[in-house]
Amino acid sequence: MKQAVTDIADVLKSMNEKLGSMQKTIDSQHDTICNLNRNINKLNAELSKRNTIIEDLRKRLAKYETPDKNSNNSSTPPSKEKMKDEVVRPTKTLRKTSGLKPGGQAGHKGCTLLKTESPDSVENIIPSYCNECGNSLEDSELVLDYVTQVISLPEMKPIVKEIRHYVAVCSKCGARIRSHAARKRGTNAVVYDASVKSLVVYLSVVQFLPYGRIADFLL
C-alpha cells in the first residue's frame, strides 16, 4: 500500500515538474510574443509615418507637375482666378530701396558712342533768315555751334549679279572652247554666294531665328 502511494506521489511530482517546465516555456513564449507584438507595433507606426510623409511629398510634387492655372502660368485672365491666387499674387516689388537717386551715380564712369574723324557724309544746318529782324543770312558769318553724328544702316537690298558663260568657236578648226566648267544637269541657275550663306548661318545659329523669318528678312 505504501509502495502504491509512493508511486503516485512520484508520478504527481514528475507531472508537477513537467507542468512547471511547460509553464516556464509558455511564459517564455508569451514574453517572446509580447516582444514581437511591440516590434510589430513600432514597425506599423514607422510605416504609417512614412506613408504620411510619402503622401505629403506626392501632394507637394503634384503642385509642380500639374499646378493650378492662373494668370502667371497660363492665359487665364485674373478675373477667372481663384481667391487664393489673387491673394498670393505679389502686388509690389520685393526689392528694398537703396536710398540713391535713379540713373548714374557720382563718380560713375560713363560709356557713350565715340565720334568718327571721317564721316561718310556731312550735312550743314544753317539758318536762312534772322528771327529778330527777318534779314537774310545768306552771306553772314558762320560760327560752328556743335556737331552731332547720326549712325544709320543702308537699305537691305539684294545685289543680283548675272554671270554669262560664253563658248568661243575657233575660226581655224571650229572647236567650241569654254574656260569654265560645264553646267551639271539639275543644278539651279540662281544661287546664293558665300556672304548670304554666312549671314543665314549667323542668324540661325547665333540669333536662333527660324528659316521662315530669315527668308522674310532677306527677300
Span 20-41, pLDDT tens digits: 788 888 888 888 888 899 999 9
pLDDT band (50, 70, 90) for residue 51: very high
Average pLDDT over residues 101-130: 86
What pLDDT is recorded for position 123? 92
Q: Across all residues in the chain, what is the average pLDDT? A: 82
Rg of the chain (C-alpha set): 50
Sign, CA torsion 96/97/103/105: negative
- Distance (Å, rounded) from C-alpha 49 to C-alpha 47? 5
Query: Is 5 a residue whose pLDDT tops 60?
Result: no
pLDDT band (50, 70, 90) for residue 122: very high
Q: What does residue 169 show for φ and ψ, rounded to 5 degrees?
A: -100, 120
> Which of 199, 218, 209, 104 has its CA nearest to residue 158?
218
What pLDDT is recorded for position 6? 64
- Distance (Å, rounded) from C-alpha 48 to C-alpha 45? 5
pLDDT band (50, 70, 90) for residue 111: confident
What type of residue is 211?
Y
Query: Is 64 a residue whose pLDDT tops 90?
Result: no
Query: Is 90 a residue whose pLDDT tops 70?
Result: no
DSSP state, residue 79:
G
SS3 (DSSP) at 129? strand
How large a percentage of the chain has pLDDT more than 70?
Answer: 89
What type of residue is 182?
A
